[in-house]
Chains A and B, each alone.
Chain A
Amino acid sequence: EPASQGLGIDEEVSVQKRARVPNVKLDEERHLDPLTRGRRLLGPAGLPKLRQRARNLRFKGKGHEFSDASRLLSFYQMWLDDLFPKAKFLDALAMVEKVGHKKRVVVARNELMNEGKPKPRDEED
């Protein structure tokens, strides 16, 4: 019996790539069915949270345009940081914008818009 056998050199070692941890899509889970797309944005940490936090957003108005804008921007930045902690501000904005064209999100956006519209007569009655 050759010595090499004892060392196990001749035995075939299975070289297999370790499965990579799937790259989580920040905006959506693409492999899930299309209906669930954009669900993180519509989930509790998404738009509802944004609207809830907006109640604390105050602007100073005329003469303070730039500080107001700064406040507004950091408001969005903090919200996005909670929503997609990995992505940079501008990248996250681009992602959200992209998801904005998904049907579910469009529907949700329209609902929000309709809340703001003057209500038709029959509902008032």
Chain B
Amino acid sequence: ADGAGDIVHPEVRAHISSLVSALGGIALDDDGQYQLGDDALEVLRDLKRWIRFYDEKTNRMDVARCIHEANLIEGDLLPILKAWPENAMDNKFRSRIALACFELMVPLTWPMERDKERMTVNHHRHLPVLELAQVQYKRAIINFDGARILHAAVRAALPAMALPIGDRTARDQGIIKLVLFFLRNMASIAPPPDGKYDGDESHISRSATIDAFSYQDIFHVLLTMASNMGEDFRTEDTTVMEIIYHLVKQVEIDKLFMDERQLNQAKASELSAMMKKEAVMLKSQNRMGPTRHNRFGTMIWVKRDDGKMSSLSGQDALADSTTRNKKMDDNKTFKPARRARKDNKDERDLGPRVKLNARANDQLRNFVEEFIDSGFNPLFLHIRKTIDREAPHLLAHHRRQYFYLVAWFLEAERVGRKVKKSNSPDVDDNDVNRFHLVAGVLNQEMFITLNRALHESYDMKDWTELTAVMRCFTQILLTVQEMTELGNEDDQEIAENVLSRLFYEEATHDAIANIIRTYKDQRFDYLDAATELVHHFLRILEAYSKQNVDMQVRFKKRSRRKKKQATKEGDGGENAEEDLDDSADDEEAAERTSKERKFDFHKFCSRFTPQGVVDTFATFTKYYRDLTDVQLKRAHRYFYRVAFKQGMSVMLFRVDIINLFYTMIKGPNQLDRSASLYKDWEELVKQILRKCTQKIQERPELLVELLFSKIQGTAFFLEYGYEKQTASKS
């Protein structure tokens, strides 16, 4: 701390507080109106200069801290904006003041970045306070009684927005940007995740935000801008998208399309399900629990092989051998060295799932429906082009938000239609071609962008973006699949086309198989997205390749270098000759040529049997207590496919996987017996276990192999009892 315990420079504090008091104050007479100081406009400009030339230039946050302590926003700016009545649009002085207020509020509410490279000691000092300050600002702004502040912001930009795009000056553009940033900041501010905010959450929750946006007519502005994207607005596309992103992120779509009664019902059944789950949990705890006081002092010997004995204390050790084994295990304290988890800087971006109240639910649903009807195609087409040309106003996180939103809205579209149809089954919606509403993200250019993002984010190890891309891919697949099922003939033809293009590139198949195989320590969200993509990709590709028996894929030829290596390792003579021929050809071209070949689904599937993929799905299944039915089904189908369709059940025979399956069905923390998928899982596990014990008796060497990961060759031998005949070995 500098000086006498003050954390900011005393002179800075003095300057700021004198400026704030010069701005104006509440009049002492009865009506208590806010009186502007004589040089209010200059004062506002001075404050702005302080922010820009002291805080931003020297990378400190002192001014922001002082402004927070002087209570500028709540005490001065909001009352000033209140005194800007709706019919005083012509008052030039007033609108200038209003604009100056927003010019101050935007930097003060700007999202904080914790970029380790740029952070100074001042950041660490001020950030925690300022984060809470921003939450307070948001609470004050969206709940302000005197005036509709968000609406006032839009009013400030209206003159500029009304101009045709060609006539706007740089200043006009700046004003529009400013106001959009203000809305973005309001949408994105959330209490810090570690729960330091002790105010009433309901004033700043997503529901309150959506309510404010609806009440202050911001949704109309967003819809107008989105549907005119590319005509009256151009560079504003990403900011509009950001606002929508912060409004809808992590909103549960199936709840969104319920009406109030259904929502209440869903909440009630959720509650009863939770209570039931808790009761079951308590019951299972009780069964294990002691029947006498804790100093009863039971002690038992456990006889083991080789004449050894172990001792265990506590009554529960008497129960059965499983409990005994578990108890022996739990008594051990050793923990193998583990690498610490890396702190993910994007972690707080998405946040937890959002619960909306019924009112906000209705408002958001209306917005979403109108947006799909009018704004979806223009906005997302435009942003896709922005991404493709790497426009200067595009930031790193925009790509991720784009894919997230496309996925979210595609799902919302599908769920919304389904709900509508079930509510009024007689209405035929063939007259309005529904798939045209989302056609903007189903064209060839989109697939190119998507594919590129898939490969790039994988190569750059940007897992958050890759998660968004995978979700987007999944939703596109599902939408197209629905097109083939429900659409009319035209739609079906289009869908066929889309699918053939999606499945044509073998590079995509490789990428997806690689992603799932190389999973390691990423977040659960990533794991969920990856398994979801694989599940639907396999399912839809299987159906498609059955229908189109002579499906072709384009694959890249192996590079020459690899072939040479293979030759050295003693490939067959024929192959070697071919390679020599190839090498005589143009070297560079040989590496790049691509060919078409017939697609073989069974062979393709075998890419999902290696140990890496099995491990990924096993890791996913480890969360079985928290998985939803859909997720459990996904894991179930995968293991079923590996064990019985691909005939590689040996890949599942590893002690930890067997242990997982066993505890899932019979362990103390078993899968909820009343869950709809319990029966399916029980049957699957039973089959796998039976096969496992049979195999052990058939081939005793499996007892050792049960400990280790297996390569395909070993697994094949264990499964079938003979070596796999491969072309290269013949």
Contacts and interface: CB of A to CB of B under 8 A. Distances in A.
Contacts of A118: 722
B708 A90 contact: no
B334 A93 contact: no
A65 B693 contact: yes
A114 to B, nearest CB: 9
Contacts, number: 116
Given A90-B656, A93-B655, A94-B656, A70 B666 contact: yes
Interface stretch (B352-360, B361-369, B699-707): B699-707
B303 to A, nearest CB: 11
Interface string B235-275: 00000000000000000000000000000000000000000
Interface stretch (B204-212, B393-401, B657-665): B657-665
B686 A66 contact: yes
Interface in B683-730: 685-686, 689-690, 692-694, 696-697, 699-701, 703-709, 714, 717, 722
B703 A66 contact: no
On chain A, which size bracket covers the interface?
35 or more
Contacts of A89: 325, 329, 659
A107 interface: no
A95 B336 contact: yes
A88 B329 contact: yes
Contact of A90 (B306, B659, B665, B696): B659
B697 A59 contact: yes
Contacts of B656: 90, 93-94, 97
Interface residues of B, number: 45
B339 interface: no
B321 interface: yes
Contacts of A56: 305
A73 B704 contact: no
Contacts of A109: 704-705, 708
24 contacts: A51-B700, A66-B666, A66-B689, A69-B658, A69-B661, A69-B662, A69-B689, A72-B693, A74-B322, A74-B325, A76-B655, A76-B707, A86-B332, A87-B336, A91-B334, A91-B336, A97-B654, A97-B656, A97-B707, A100-B708, A109-B708, A112-B704, A116-B699, A118-B722
Interface of B: 304-306, 308, 321-322, 325, 328-330, 332, 334-336, 654-656, 658-659, 661-662, 665-666, 685-686, 689-690, 692-694, 696-697, 699-701, 703-709, 714, 717, 722
Given A69-B661, A89-B329, A90-B656, 15 more contacts: A59-B693, A61-B694, A65-B693, A66-B665, A69-B662, A69-B693, A72-B658, A73-B325, A74-B322, A77-B325, A78-B305, A86-B334, A97-B707, A100-B707, A113-B701
